[in-house]
Amino acid sequence: MAFTPRFVGAILAWRPTWFIARLALTSAYLLGGIVKLTDWQGAVAEQAHFGMSPPAFWAALTIGLELVGPVLILSGRLVWLGAGMLGVFTLLAAFTANAFWTMPMGQERFMATNAFFEHIGLIGGFIAVAMIAQRRAANA
């Protein structure tokens, strides 16, 4: 049996920790959605930069996903759906924006490789959140 220090157990058992963890996981998406919503032209330009066509459609879809997914996760309702939305979005974004395997060796490839695997880590976080939410609901 693994030993958990008492202070760690207290933090994990503290009721707000569950919300804070979900907020930390989704904060970049919330912020991204808000920034894009307040800078529509920038959001459209970003989609055009990545070759998404029509860029306005993809900007609107991105904003929707970046706002609705976190709200579902944070509300505790349909967490699996919010986590799935953000997980699939993150996977597609990783392949679109961080295709390191197509780049020559160098700093740009190094940065894209790191960003790609950071995205994979986020996907793991979304899976974990969905699993924990399911177990919490089953035990309620």
Report d(CA 68, CA 98) in Å as an integer. Answer: 24
Look at residue 72 and tell me if it is in a domain: yes
Number of domains making up the chain? 1
For residue 30, the enclosing domain spans 17-139
Look at residue 23 and tell me if it is in a domain: yes
Report d(CA 15, CA 71) in Å as an integer. Answer: 19
What is the reported pLDDT for 140? 80
What is the reported pLDDT for 52? 95
Look at residue 43 and tell me if it is in a domain: yes
pLDDT digits (tens, 9 = 90+) for 81-128: 999 999 999 999 999 999 999 999 999 999 999 999 999 999 999 999
Report d(CA 35, CA 125) in Å as an integer. Answer: 23
**Integer distance in angstroms from the first to the last C-alpha of the chain?**
25
Look at residue 66 and tell me if it is in a domain: yes
Q: What share of the chain is helix, strand, coil (3-state, %, to 5)?
A: 85, 0, 15
The pair phi, psi for residue 71, each rounded to 5°, is -60, -40
